[in-house]
């Protein structure tokens, strides 16, 4: 144990200089008498004393405390309005040994981020939330917040908040303490020394809980906003006592700190094997080793497959991507479709590359597959010069206007129908495409088909359709 | 406690970090913090708070009510029983 310090001074968890203000780099931007400074000091002191500053990530909200990152010498992230708990969740999940502080005001937490905080609390995220409640939107000029009191005059409730119009002020501690997951929920006040010293304890406990892996701790602090309330500091402190505390009782709502077992949840690392198993792509270990020559000569395929919903255009792309993955290529697949389950139009973008893929969007395809007329009309002009266009000539009767691209007119739907497999034109396409491009052997595709279909009983029929497509290409496209 | 011990406790307000919110003045039990009697303004334009120079007990409450991280520094009374 360290001996009790005999000097109370600026905590080392604060920066020596606050960069924001040019000449005045030692003061915060907070108004005289503001409660934010009190809480900042309590947090900084606790981080010092508990030795947590080095691994703390402080998530600043939107609101007056948006600039907390200028003050705390910790990791800092500034989150979108109300989203601090979500950002904090991300930090905590990926870095479970970090100390995540979500510091939010009442507009940010109770209104705009209402659901973020509820769900972070309900998941029991192992983080610490400091909720600064001053019954107002302070930074934007004193607008009514969900926590504004009945009768409270704000810039957006100039006649006073009414129950009829705005309902009752929301009590976040009460709400959050009804959830099972949170370990510690307390409301404190900053109106007097007693309250601040109680808040000091609460801040430390909430941080210690996190360090011990005990889960979600929530500390609400009733905080003065003399400027927003248009009061002197003295009156603002009195207002907390006279009006806020009666409605927002100051007490511990829940504290299971002593009985909970601490647990730091390590992020789960998945091996390729586990991922392939989870994704039902059970072909790992059978992927094709590719020599340098193949990869050197491999030209990136940027494919767009478009047609009616129900023609299997999305499935065709997904199967091609899955099969190419087995060839040790980088792949991406992204669908685009309307709300209809059948009918409507659909298309997917598929990229096959030997290098990492940036955006999965294909804007200018070098391979375009069109299964119906509207798709040809839509995408014909987008194809790069020298690209390949595969036209489902069973349905599309017109020829291409473009003359600077290669075209294959294949009666995909007819070939499928001849096999009695009306819905398998997409597989016919894949068979024909592989036969034409020799991208990889058809056998490899046939192996992956059973893994990519939801209805396994259809695997055999789909393999047959792919073979028929390849056969058609051999018969009709003698190069 | 003897008066000798009390002399060891002291409080210091950094003039340029004070926003004159008066919170420290309000809570100071011995009443040894006051607005600077000289008519002077700091860099922020406030008439800052000063220590009268004696009577501080080192209780530290002014430190905790002061919203500015570096606004107030309190030297507590040295414990008579020194730690090794």
Measured distance CA(B68)–CA(A89) in Å, rounded: 30
Strands A128-133 and A99-105: parallel
Which of B69, B81, B83 would best serve as a mutation to test chain A binding (most A beta carbons within 10 A)?
B69
Closest CA to A368 of A327, A316, A322, A325: A316
Which residues of chain A does B77 touch, with a Cβ-Cβ cutoff of 8 Å?
A: 6
Strands A128-133 and A184-189: unpaired
- Confidence (pLDDT) at A82: 96
CB within 8 Å of A135: residues ≥ 6 apart:
A106, A145, A147, A148, A149, A152, A169, A225, A244
Burial of A271 (0-12, 13-18, 19+ CB in 10 A): exposed
Which of A13, A196, A225, A233 would best serve as a mutation to test chain B binding (most B beta carbons within 10 A)?
A233
Measured distance CA(A193)–CA(A229) in Å, rounded: 21
Provide residues of A within 8 Å CB-CB of chain B: 3-4, 6-11, 14, 23-24, 26-28, 30-38, 40-42, 44, 71, 192-193, 196-197, 200, 226, 232-234, 237
Q: Which two tokens stand for residue A421?
A: 């497999």
Inter-chain CB pairs, A–B, below 8 Å: 97
Which residues of chain B does A40 touch, with a Cβ-Cβ cutoff of 8 Å?
A: 67, 69
Whole-model pTM: value is 0.74
How many alpha carbons lie under 13 Å from residue A268 in its C-beta half-sphere?
5
Measured distance CA(A311)–CA(A307) in Å, rounded: 7
Of all helices (H) and strands (E), which one includes residue A317?
helix A313-326
Cβ distance of A40 and B74 shorter than 8 Å:
no
Burial of B52 (0-12, 13-18, 19+ CB in 10 A): middle
- Looking at the complex, report in whole angstroms how far the Cα of residue B24 sits from the nearest Cα belonging to chain A: 10
Residue A118 has φ and ψ, to the nearest 5°, of -60, -45
Cβ distance of A233 and B23 shorter than 8 Å:
yes
Q: Which two tokens stand for residue B36?
A: 């600077």
- Confidence (pLDDT) at A341: 66
CATH 3.40.50.970 residue ranges for chain A? 35-255
Which residues of chain A does B64 touch, with a Cβ-Cβ cutoff of 8 Å?
A: 8, 38, 41-42, 193, 196-197, 200
Provide the CA A23 distance to its chain's centre, in angstroms.
Answer: 39
Cβ distance of A37 and B26 shorter than 8 Å:
no
Can you tell me whether residue A346 is helix, strand or coil? strand
- Confidence (pLDDT) at A19: 86
Cβ distance of B67 and A193 shorter than 8 Å:
no
How many alpha carbons lie under 13 Å from residue A281 in its C-beta half-sphere?
19
Any idea which fold B3-75 has? Alpha-Beta Plaits (3.30.70)
Listed in sequence order, the DSSP H helices in A51-156 are 84-94, 106, 114-123
Burial of A144 (0-12, 13-18, 19+ CB in 10 A): buried
Which top CATH class is A274-476?
alpha beta
Residue ranges with strand state E in A196-329: 217-222, 252-255, 301-308
Residue with tokens 């047609």: A307
Can you tell me whether residue A433 is helix, strand or coil? helix
- Confidence (pLDDT) at A288: 65
CATH 3.40.920.10 residue ranges for chain A? 274-476
Check pLDDT > 70 for residue B13: yes
Which top CATH class is A35-255?
alpha beta
Provide the CA A304 distance to its chain's centre, in angstroms.
Answer: 27
Which residues of chain A does B47 touch, with a Cβ-Cβ cutoff of 8 Å?
A: none
Cβ distance of A24 and B69 shorter than 8 Å:
no
- Confidence (pLDDT) at B84: 46
- Looking at the complex, report in whole angstroms how far the Cα of residue A16 sits from the nearest Cα belonging to chain B: 9
Listed in sequence order, the DSSP H helices in A354-439 are 373-379, 412-418, 425-437
Provide the CA A297 distance to its chain's centre, in angstroms.
Answer: 37
Which residues of chain A does B23 touch, with a Cβ-Cβ cutoff of 8 Å?
A: 33, 233, 237
Cβ distance of B17 and A27 shorter than 8 Å:
yes
- Where do the domains of chain B lie? 3-75
Q: How far is CA A80 from CA A60, A62, A66, A203, A253, in A?
A: 9, 6, 10, 24, 28
- Confidence (pLDDT) at B8: 78
Long-range contacts: A22-26, Cβ < 8 Å, 24+? Answer: A23/B43, A24/B16, A24/B43, A24/B44, A26/B14, A26/B16, A26/B17, A26/B70
Measured distance CA(A84)–CA(A56) in Å, rounded: 14
Cβ distance of B68 and A37 shorter than 8 Å:
yes
Check pLDDT > 60 for residue B4: no
Provide residues of B within 8 Å CB-CB of chain A: 14, 16-17, 19-23, 26-27, 43-44, 46, 60-61, 63-70, 72-79, 83
pLDDT in 10s for each residue of chain A, 479 residues: 334 568 999 999 999 999 876 667 889 999 999 999 999 999 999 999 999 999 999 999 999 999 999 999 999 999 999 999 999 999 999 999 999 999 999 999 999 999 999 999 999 999 999 999 999 999 998 999 999 999 999 999 999 999 999 999 999 999 999 999 999 999 999 999 999 999 999 999 999 999 999 999 999 999 999 999 999 999 999 999 999 999 999 999 999 999 999 988 888 888 877 877 777 665 555 666 677 787 788 899 999 999 988 888 999 999 999 889 888 889 999 999 877 666 678 999 999 999 999 999 999 999 999 999 999 999 999 999 999 999 999 999 999 999 999 999 999 999 999 999 888 999 999 999 999 999 989 998 988 888 877 777 888 999 999 999 999 999 997 65
- Looking at the complex, report in whole angstroms how far the Cα of residue B54 sits from the nearest Cα belonging to chain A: 17
Measured distance CA(B56)–CA(A211) in Å, rounded: 36
Structure confidence by residue, pLDDT tens digits, B15-67: 999 999 999 999 999 999 999 999 899 988 999 999 999 999 999 999 999 99
Cβ distance of A6 and B79 shorter than 8 Å:
yes
Measured distance CA(B34)–CA(A253) in Å, rounded: 39
- Looking at the complex, report in whole angstroms how far the Cα of residue B8 sits from the nearest Cα belonging to chain A: 11
Which of B10, B26, B64, B81 would best serve as a mutation to test chain A binding (most A beta carbons within 10 A)?
B64
Cβ distance of A196 and B14 shorter than 8 Å:
no
Q: Which two tokens stand for residue A97?
A: 């040994």
Provide the residue count of chain A: 479
């Amino acid at each position: 144990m360290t001996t009790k310090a005999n000097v109370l001074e600026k905590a080392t968890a604060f920066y020596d200089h606050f960069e924001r203000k040019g000449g005045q780099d030692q003061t915060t931007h907070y108004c005289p008498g503001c409660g934010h400074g009190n809480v900042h000091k309590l947090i900084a002191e606790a981080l010092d004393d508990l030795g947590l500053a080095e691994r703390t990530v402080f998530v600043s909200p939107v609101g007056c405390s948006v600039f907390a990152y200028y003050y705390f010498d910790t990791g800092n992230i500034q989150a979108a309005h109300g989203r601090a708990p979500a950002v904090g969740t991300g930090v905590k999940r990926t870095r479970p040994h970090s100390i995540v502080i979500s510091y939010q005001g009442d507009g940010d937490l109770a209104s705009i981020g209402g659901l973020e905080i509820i769900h972070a609390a309900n998941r029991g995220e192992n983080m610490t939330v400091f909720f600064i409640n001053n019954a107002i939107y302070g930074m934007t000029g004193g607008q009514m917040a969900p926590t504004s009191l009945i009768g409270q005059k704000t810039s957006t409730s100039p006649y006073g908040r009414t129950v009829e119009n705005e309902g009752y002020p929301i009590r976040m501690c009460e709400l959050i303490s009804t959830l099972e997951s949170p370990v510690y929920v307390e409301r404190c006040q900053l109106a007097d020394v007693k309250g601040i010293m109680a808040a000091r304890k609460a801040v430390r406990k909430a941080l210690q809980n996190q360090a011990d892996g005990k889960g979600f701790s929530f500390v609400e602090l009733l905080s003065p906003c003399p400027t927003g309330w248009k009061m002197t500091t003295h009156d603002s402190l009195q207002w907390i006592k006279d009006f806020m505390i009666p409605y927002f009782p100051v007490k511990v709502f829940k504290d299971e700190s002593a009985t909970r077992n601490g647990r730091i949840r390590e992020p789960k690392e998945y091996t390729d094997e586990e991922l392939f198993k989870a994704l039902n792509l059970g072909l790992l270990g059978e992927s094709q080793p590719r020599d340098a020559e193949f990869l050197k000569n491999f030209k990136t395929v940027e494919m767009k497959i478009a047609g009616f919903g129900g023609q299997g255009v999305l499935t065709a792309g997904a199967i091609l991507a899955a099969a190419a993955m087995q060839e040790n290529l980088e792949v991406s697949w992204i669908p685009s479709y309307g709300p209809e389950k059948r009918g409507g139009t659909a298309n997917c973008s598929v990229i096959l590359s030997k290098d990492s893929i940036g955006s999965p969007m294909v804007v200018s395809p070098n391979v375009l597959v069109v299964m119906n007329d509207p798709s040809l009309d839509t995408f014909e002009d987008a194809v790069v010069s020298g690209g390949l266009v595969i036209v489902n000539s069973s349905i599309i009767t017109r020829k291409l206007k473009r003359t600077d691209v290669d075209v294959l007119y294949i009666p995909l739907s007819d070939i499928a129908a001849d096999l009695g497999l009306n819905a398998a034109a997409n597989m016919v396409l894949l068979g024909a495409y592989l036969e034409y491009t020799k991208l990889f052997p058809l056998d490899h595709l046939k192996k992956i088909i059973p893994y990519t279909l939801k209805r396994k009983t259809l695997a055999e029929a789909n393999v047959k359709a792919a073979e028929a497509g390849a056969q058609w290409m051999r018969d009709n496209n003698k190069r | 406690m003897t008066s000798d011990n009390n002399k060891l406790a002291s409080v210091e307000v950094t003039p340029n970090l004070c926003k004159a919110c008066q919170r420290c003045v309000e809570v100071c039990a011995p009443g040894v913090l006051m607005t600077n009697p000289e008519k002077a303004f700091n860099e922020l334009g406030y008439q800052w708070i000063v220590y009268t120079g004696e009577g501080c007990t080192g209780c530290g409450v002014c430190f905790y009510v002061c919203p500015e991280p570096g606004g107030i520094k309190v030297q507590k009374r040295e414990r008579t029983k020194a730690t090794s």
